[in-house]
Every structure is written in structure tokens, then in C-alpha cells.
Structure 1
């Protein structure tokens, strides 16, 4: 089909990529003299007429969904045309770059800060779509395009658009199995939190080199997503807690877009590069012919000396960590209640207890939890504050946990004790 003129205007020049139901061509808009990408719908002959209409409607939906969005992180749709055989085509901007999937395949796992940079731009694109009432429903590395420092989200073919009649049969599951959220796997309605789960799976794949869930077949992948926790992201470093929070099976426990953006913005910063050590004098050459007994004795002496030195250093560094934890505690702004106690729970980690309310029956527990989260978010160095899984648990003796991404705060727990509502903040020495 090379050099084919489509709609008397778009001349196809080369094939850019092909999928199960379509292909993307490099083309030239001869009317405006510009390069474009043209998406072709290719359907197998065995499909029924109803199935053909459904797939054509999905391509139309992609054009409408993307055309409603004006954002630098979302591919721009220029036109929707019909070919000579009646099939729809979409004319889009041409993104000069490769997909995130291609990059990982070519270079292997990416550095965490680079993955955070990519995730931040994809998140901004998703939030723009969500504000416009559009859920993407197919966020994955293959749909993330990289053009120099620009990151572009593409392929809104199965997007859910508010106000549009759904094209999906009740209970049907559509998407890419390894990157589908648990609710999509169960055939439930997908929403913004579903896109954030898929973003988490995309970031996991980028930093680990593989998706968070795998299996011998699609059914096995679905079962794993619906029932299991993903393996820890061992290469993710500081990005790991954010990825794992996004991959929560319970959509209500995932961070919001606003919370996620604060964390990714911090993690996307370039890591400091340590200066190369200065070149020193060449080590002295060993004298040969020394007796083995002497060499062994020297080695034992050195080992004992090293052990003593390490022990002394450990004691000194433990004391330094304890002091650093207390310094971090003193750096907290005025807490939301009077301090009751400060206990050392581990070397370099303190648990500070505050009283939020003298009696839980007269206390607005939800209000105190909200105020506590706001207070935690205002502390120096705090990147993200994750709300408790169940707000109702905060007024019980078991309590609820508020997670924090911070170099000096590991989290906070709100519990009921002796009819009082207490806040325990866990402070550690900054790394």
C-alpha cells in the first residue's frame, strides 16, 4: 500500500507498526505539506458484520476521545476519514520516537528517576483525560511514546467516554491482560483509579524489565492480578513504594492523582553524581618470598583490627542515627495535639505519641484524620501521604495506618486508647 493516496490528500509512505486489528502508517499531508501518522483499521475476514461495525465504532471512539483532549502529553488527532472500501482511518500527529516498550526491550530496565520522569508526564496526560470525563483503559508501555524529552500517551481505542454509549458487552473484558487493573479483570467498570493501576504496572515494567504479573496464559494472568500481590520491585529504589501503592487491588487504597504527582515530581529529580575519587599514589609492590606463617599471622591481625574498627564504627553510627532521629523529631512543625511520650522503637527510630482528642465519643475522628494528613504533608521532606485504607478503623483500638513517603518519617498510626484518640508518628534518622 506504499505510495497510496488516501482521501485524495494523505499519501502513505511506509509502515510504522502493526497490531492485531490495525496498522499505523507514515504519511504526508499533501494539502498542508506536513508529515502525519495514519491509523488503519484491519479486520479479519471471519468477523461478522456486527463485529465489524463494533470495531469501526471503536476507532471512531478513539478519534473522538483524543480530539476532545488538548494536552502536550496526548497525541493530537487531525482528521477522521473513510477509505474507498468504507473503513475508517484516523490521521494523527507523527511522533518521532519509539515506545516505552521498545526502549525497555532494547536497553533493559531503566533507572528509577528516568521512569519517574516518564510516569510524571503520563500522569499529567491521564489527569487531563480524567478531567474531560475520559478513562483510557489501556495504559501500557506500548502506548507510551517517547520523543526526546516529551512523553506522549496514545491509543484511546477502548477509552470510556462520559456520555457515550458503551461498546463493550456487559461483563466483557477488554484491554491488555498484563496491564489491566483488578476491577477490569473482574469485568467491572473502569475509572480513573484503574488507569492509575495500569500506570503503576507500566512503571513496574519499565524499572524491572517485566510486567508485575505473568502467567502461562491469559487466564493465569487474570487470576494473579485478581488474587495476588505483585513481587516487590527490587530495582525501583525509592520509586518502589509508589509503584506498590498504585498496584493495590482495592481501588480506594490507591493514591489519588494529586498525591501521586507530588511523589513522582520529587522522585523524578536527577540523582546526585558522586565525584570520582582523586588518583592517589600507586600501592607498594609486595615483596615475594615471605613465609606463609607470617603472612597468615598478619592477615589474622588485620582481620581482628578490622572487626574492632567496624564494631566501634557501628556503635558510633548508632548513636549518630539516634541523634539524627531526635533532630528530625525536633524539626517537626507544631503537632496537632500535646505530646504524651517518645519511645525508641529501633536504633535510630522514634515513636512519638500525641493526643488528638481526650474522648473519642466527642471527637470528630474523620476531621482529626484529615487534619493529621494535612499536618504530615506540611512536614519538611514529605513527598506523599497515603490515606488509611479504612477511615472507620481510626477510632478503634486496632487503629489505622497513614503511610508517608519521606526520608525521616516512616508513617503514622491513629488509635483509640483509654477512650482517647492518639496519634503515633514514627520518626527515623534521614538517610
Structure 2
């Protein structure tokens, strides 16, 4: 039996563990579909801040629908556990691909870099800076021998242009080896993501152990060596990586500009690697077996098998209203002892009601009649209330005037 978070996300089996939490295959019970769930515990304020940033990016200007972005599409919380929910990606990460295949073909790296820059262009256009672009955060769909499909994930330290920077002395946000020179001083903006994207491309072209990676100033020389004599698009890629790795962030191209300088055609079959499904199938008797998966673009358009919170609240309110105890029925009208109410007794016009021989009282409507619903009673009571309100207003005005005179010494 699986754990269910907040009545919606059923955890099935763990897939990976990291410093900020664990990644699970799960079932989104609202849509009846398989998803990925990043489970984090609220151990301190930093973890809560990571959660807030990730779910904020997921709802920013439709970024979740971008083909190369993988922010969370929803979240759930219960006790001290918070869960970020996103589609499940089966092909591993760019770091996995490099570790298993070694240096990747130049055309393949150019295609992956173009997809990454396209994702960053959308992020930057929405006012966000990712700040942790690295191979481990670049997910690959299991496309087999087909064209690659990259998705940028993990927005835990992303920063919006309107956010207040709370950088402490000596604290650097990001991963060593993929940080531009300006990040060391606690500054940086969209240009730091461009620099990191170039560093990711270099890692795919020329894998280097973390302890042997050159400092930021030596990355451009690494690009020259890795692409020296490489076939097309090697020369163009070498020039572009040098521009993206410029020490001056103001001289780097934007993500959109760099993307448009790369070929849009997918790499030839001979320049690809096989990206197999790295996630095993569920046993037939496991929770979620046989269910569809949430598409990479998110659950928009999927049917819902479990109503959302607002729908459940509205339904509960409707049931509560329908089940409320009705008011007791009104008592039957009793015969009146007033002769005026007896229809068998002839009556003439009431004095003061505009009868031919009696002038109407001042301020009394000539057509006012005594009725069983007490309309005449409410009429004189309303006029009495109005008179009382008017007199109260006059008294307040008089008191204010006297107070003003007293202040001026009169």
C-alpha cells in the first residue's frame, strides 16, 4: 500500500535521492495518471524557499507548457512534507549520457544546446534567472535512436528580477564548474545562465572530472581545444561558445540570440546516441500499473477522476445548505376580534385617508390602507426612524459647532 500525500499524490517507488529530497514515481489521483513527485521535508527556511520558488516558476506565464522546460505543475503538502509534482521523464540526464557514452558528437551537442537556449530564452523573458544550469538538471526524454529532446528542470534557486537578493558574504548560489566569474561576487543575471549553458556544452564535448575542471577564465581555451578541427558545425559552435563564455557578462549574447545562431535541424542519425528508458515498468499488481502518464507538457486537457479542493468545498457547502433544518411553518391566521377586519361589516373610508368629507393628515399618503401585512405600520415606523436619525444628525452638528467655538475661545 502506497503513502498518499494530501489525499492526492500516491507515492509508488523511489527513483533517486538528493540533498534537497527524493524523487518518486507516483500517481496523481486527480488525473488517474503516473507522474514524478519530488518529496521535500520542511527542515528549515531554505527548504521552504526552494519549494516556493519551484512552484512559482511552474505557474509563471505558462512556462510549464514550453517543450523544453519541466517546472512543477502542482504541489501538495501534509504535516512537514511538501511534494512538487511534474511529468515523469524516462531518459535520465545529460550527466548520465556523458558518463555512459563519453564525449558526444558535435552535431548532437549543438542540437541539445539549441534546445537548452530556447528554454532559457523563455525563462528570461518571464523575468526569471535559473542560476543552476548544469548537466544533472538537464533531463532527456527516452527517444531511443530518434532526435533528442532536452528539458531544463530544478528551479529551486531560481530568482525573479523583482526578488530581493539576500546574498550573504561568502555564499554563492550554483554549482562549481558551471558558475561564471561574476557569480563569485554574488552578482549576475540572465547572462550567468548563458555562461552555464556553454559550460554544459563543453562538458558534453570534453568531459572533465569535477576536480580537474578549469576555472571560469580557462573555459574558452577548453572550447578551442575541444572543437579544433571538428566538422560542421564545429567552427561556428567554437565561436559561439567563446562568445557565451566571455568574462564580461555585458558582451555575451542573450539566450535567444545564441539560440538563433545554431542550426535548427536535428542531428543526423549517425550523430545521435540511443536514449533508452531508464525507469523500469511497474509490476502488474503494483499501484498505478496500467495507468497513463502525465504528458511532458503537463496535465492540461486530461480528464479528472478526483475533484479539486475548490470543487469539494463547493460540493460540501451545497450539501450542507440542502440538509439544513427548514424553518417551522407559520401558524394559521386566527380570527380577528377587530370589527374593522370583519368583511361582513360595512366600512367607509378611514379618516385621514382622503375621504370626501375628511381632509388628509399632513404628510400622510392619501392612498394608504390598512393591510394584513402591516404596510401602514411599517410606513409610520420608517418615518419615525427617519425623524430620529435627522434629529441625531442635527444634535451631532450642533455639538461639533459648540466644540469648535470652545476651541476658538468663544
The bucket for the TM-score relative to the shorter chain is 0.5 to 0.7
Q: What is the alpha-carbon distance in structure 2 between the residues aligned to residue 14 and residue 72 of structure 1?
A: 26
Distance 1:155 1:197 in 2: 18
Residues 267 and 180 (structure 1), Cα distance of their counterparts in 2 relative to 1, 3 Å cut: farther
1:233 & 1:41 partners in 2: Cα distance? 41
Any stretches of 5+ residues in structure 1 without a counterpart? 274-431
Secondary structure of the residue aligned to 2:73 is strand
**1:164 correspondence with 2:198:** no
Q: CA, structure 1 residues 231+83, in 2 after alignment: closer, same or farther (shift >3 Å)?
A: same
* Higher Rg of the two aligned structures: 2
Question: Residue in 1 aligned with 2:91?
Answer: 97
* C-alpha RMSD of the superposition: 2.6
2:105 is aligned with 1:114 = no
**Residues 263-302 of structure 1: pairs in structure 2 closer than 5 A:** 263-265=261-263, 270=268
Q: Deviations over 1:200-226 (max 9, x none)?
A: 000000111227xx547xxxx7x9226
Distance 1:132 1:228, change over 3 A: closer
The two structures have a TM-score, normalised by structure 1, of 0.55
Greater strand percent: which structure? 1
Give the match for residue 67 of structure 2. 72
In the TM superposition, what is the alpha-carbon distance from 1:119 to its structure 2 partner?
0.7
Does residue 128 (structure 1) correspond to residue 122 (structure 2)? The answer is yes
- The answer to whether the aligner puts 1:143 opposite 2:137 as a matched pair is yes
Classify 1:168/1:15 alpha carbon distance in 2 versus 1 (closer, same or farther; 3 Å): farther
Q: The residue matched to 2:243 in structure 1 has which SS? A: helix
State how 1:257-336 maps to structure 2 within 5 Å: 257-265=255-263, 270=268
Contact residue 140 and residue 151 of structure 2 kept, 8 A: yes
> Is the 1:113–1:271 Cα contact (8 Å) retained in structure 2?
no
Show CA shifts across 1:176-198 (max 9, x none): 1111111112222x211110000
1:192 is aligned, of 182, 190, 208, to 190
Q: Which runs of 5+ in 2 are unaligned?
A: 272-410
Match runs of 1:6-405 below 5 Å: 6-42=5-41, 52-68=44-60, 69=63, 70-84=65-79, 86-147=80-141, 148=143, 149-166=148-165, 168-169=167-168, 172-188=171-187, 190-210=188-208, 215=211, 224-225=215-216, 230-236=221-227, 237=230, 238=234, 239-265=237-263, 270=268
Distance 1:252 1:136 in 2: 18
Report the number of matched residues.
256
Higher normalized contact order (CA 8 Å, seq sep 6+, divided by chain length): 2
SS of 1:137's equivalent? coil
Q: CA shift at 1:167, angstroms?
A: 5.0
What TM-score does the superposition give when structure 2 sets the normalisation length? 0.57
Conserved in 2, the CA contact under 8 Å of 1:79 and 1:91? yes
**In structure 2, C-alpha distance between the alignment counterparts of 1:123 and 1:240, rounded to whole Å:** 16
